[in-house]
């Protein structure tokens, strides 16, 4: 059988064309892959739109390197809240922002919210990559899971932690993508499952010394049907399994104010006097030391207080813990929004509103070694106690023995 050169060329061209069409179709059906992404610190931090209303309704972003604020370019019918920036950039140098994306219809007081879901937007381009309708939405800024994948964790309004993968290869249909709750599997020493609580204010630090632990504000409660006791929110760390589907370890990070089963002190009006904690964020000082920043509030106080405390890693358990005696209050009258560390660790930003309840972003300067004086004092105290112990031990060892003589 003879085949002409012309027919062979035509057949080859048809096969190449068909292969290209098939490749393009497959590429459009599959989600975008995390190609050429480079890990880095999150560039931007977002603030809620209602705090800073203006002529343009886009969310306000703070550059963690320069401290400059700007508006995210979105259309007038889009509302983007609870924003969190990716810890990586793509080949074009763009980051991605995730949060709660809402479509609004109408203008002014007659506007209505059409659909609520999860959104993924490029920065600085402002292009909407994903808009997923979801039955549960974040109650605060989500946190990105480690790596260069578009995977996030967020706390829902029901107090549970949810996991969502924007680039799940097994769910190419956006309508079938739904957040999956993370299962609580923390047990005590006897193997009994410990009671969980209500989670909020998630934060996944980039600090490697923390070994991938997640920070949350946890409101513990008892599982009794009647007279169930709910405790004030506390700062905890959580450890997830390798797949990020279950919580396998958890512990209180800050100093306990109320022990489990203890009584909550109340004032004459029956209001709890314990300290409420929220919005934990870990940053790195200019000297490279990890610093925990979080908000605290008592019932009768105006607004929240911004506190910082030094962190260290336990040598036995490898778990983070606060250094006692290093707590410092940086500001009061703060709004309930996560503080923002600069990338160089020289300042921290918070939202305050003293005059006429008008919020403003304050940048507070941090020393290169903010806890050096406290640490040096504790080190000197330990040295003095050690010298005293050694001196007393030597005195007892070298003291001559005395024997009682019989009376004459």
Q: What residue segments make up the domains of the chain, in order of their start? A: 34-168, 186-222+229-256+272-376
User: Given phi > 0 = left and psi -120 to 50 = alpha, else beta, which region is 212?
Assistant: left
Q: Which residue has the higher pLDDT, 73 or 182?
A: 182
For 205, residues 6+ apart whose C-beta sits below 8 A from its C-beta are 213, 215, 281, 282, 290
When mean pLDDT is compared across 20-34, 328-342, 390-404, the lowest value belongs to 20-34
Comparing 272 with 145, the larger pLDDT belongs to 145
Query: pLDDT > 90: what percent of the chain?
Result: 32
pLDDT for res 395: 65
| pLDDT at residue 27 is higher than 50 | no
Whether 50 has a pLDDT exceeding 80, the answer reads: no
Nearest to 99 by CA among 121, 113, 119, 115: 119
Residue pair 136/180 in contact by the 8 Å Cβ criterion: no
Residue 110: strand, helix, or coil: helix
What's the confidence (pLDDT) of residue 287?
85
Name the strand (E) or helix (H) holding 358: none
Average pLDDT estimate for 102-121? 70
Mind listing the pLDDT tens digit for each residue in 255-273? Answer: 765 444 444 455 555 555 6
**Residue 46 DSSP SS3:** strand
- Which DSSP string corresponds to 274-339? SPEEEEEEEEE-TTS-EEEEEEEE-TTSSSEEEEEEEEEE-TTT--EEE-TT--EEEEEEE-SS--
pTM for this prediction? 0.76
Which is more confidently placed, 326 or 114? 326
Work out the average pLDDT over 40-69: 83
Per-residue pLDDT reduced to its tens digit, 84-110: 999 999 999 999 999 988 876 655 555
The answer for residues whose C-beta is within 8 angstroms of residue 236's C-beta and 6 or more apart is 215, 216, 217, 218, 250, 251, 252, 253
Encode pLDDT of 56-72 as tens digits. 567 889 999 999 998 88
What does the pLDDT look like over 332-387, one tens digit per residue? 889 999 999 999 999 999 998 866 567 889 999 988 776 764 444 455 555 556 66
pLDDT of res. 11: 64
């Amino acid at each position: 059988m003879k085949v002409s050169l012309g027919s062979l060329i035509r057949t080859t061209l048809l096969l190449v064309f068909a292969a290209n069409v098939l490749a393009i179709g497959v590429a459009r059906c599959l989600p975008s892959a995390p190609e050429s992404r480079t890990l880095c610190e999150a560039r931007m931090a977002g603030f809620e739109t209602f705090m800073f209303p203006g002529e343009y309704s886009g969310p306000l972003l703070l550059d963690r390197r320069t401290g400059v604020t700007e508006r995210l370019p979105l259309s007038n019918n889009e509302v983007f809240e609870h924003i969190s920036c990716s810890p990586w950039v793509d080949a074009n140098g763009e980051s991605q922002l995730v949060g709660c994306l809402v479509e609004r219809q109408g203008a002014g007081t007659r506007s209505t919210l059409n659909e609520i879901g999860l959104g993924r937007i490029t920065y600085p381009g402002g292009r909407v990559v994903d808009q997923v309708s979801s039955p549960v939405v974040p109650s605060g800024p989500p946190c990105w899971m480690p790596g260069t994948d578009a995977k996030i964790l967020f706390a829902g309004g029901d107090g549970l932690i949810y996991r969502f993968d924007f680039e799940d290869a097994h769910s190419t249909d956006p309508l079938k993508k739904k957040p999956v709750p993370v299962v609580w599997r923390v047990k005590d020493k006897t193997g009994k499952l410990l009671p969980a609580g209500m989670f909020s204010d998630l934060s996944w630090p980039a600090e490697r010394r923390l070994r991938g632990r997640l920070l949350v504000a946890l409101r513990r409660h008892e599982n009794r049907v009647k007279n169930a006791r709910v405790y004030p929110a506390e700062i905890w760390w959580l450890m997830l399994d390798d797949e990020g589907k279950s919580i396998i370890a958890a512990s209180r990070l800050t100093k306990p104010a109320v022990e489990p089963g203890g009584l909550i002190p109340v004032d004459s009006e029956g209001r709890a006097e314990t300290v409420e904690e929220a919005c934990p964020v870990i940053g790195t000082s200019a000297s490279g030391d990890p610093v925990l920043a979080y908000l605290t509030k008592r019932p009768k106080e105006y607004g929240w207080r911004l506190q910082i405390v030094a962190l260290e890693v336990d040598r036995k358990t490898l778990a983070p813990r606060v250094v006692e005696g290093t707590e410092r209050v940086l500001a009061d009258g703060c709004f309930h929004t996560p503080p923002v560390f600069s990338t160089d660790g020289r300042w921290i930003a918070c939202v305050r509103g003293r005059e006429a309840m008008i919020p403003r972003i304050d940048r507070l300067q941090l020393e290169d070694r903010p806890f050096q004086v406290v640490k040096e004092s504790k080190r000197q105290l330990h040295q003095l106690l050690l010298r005293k112990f050694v001196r007393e031990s030597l005195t007892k060892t070298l003291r001559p023995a005395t024997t009682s003589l019989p009376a004459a």
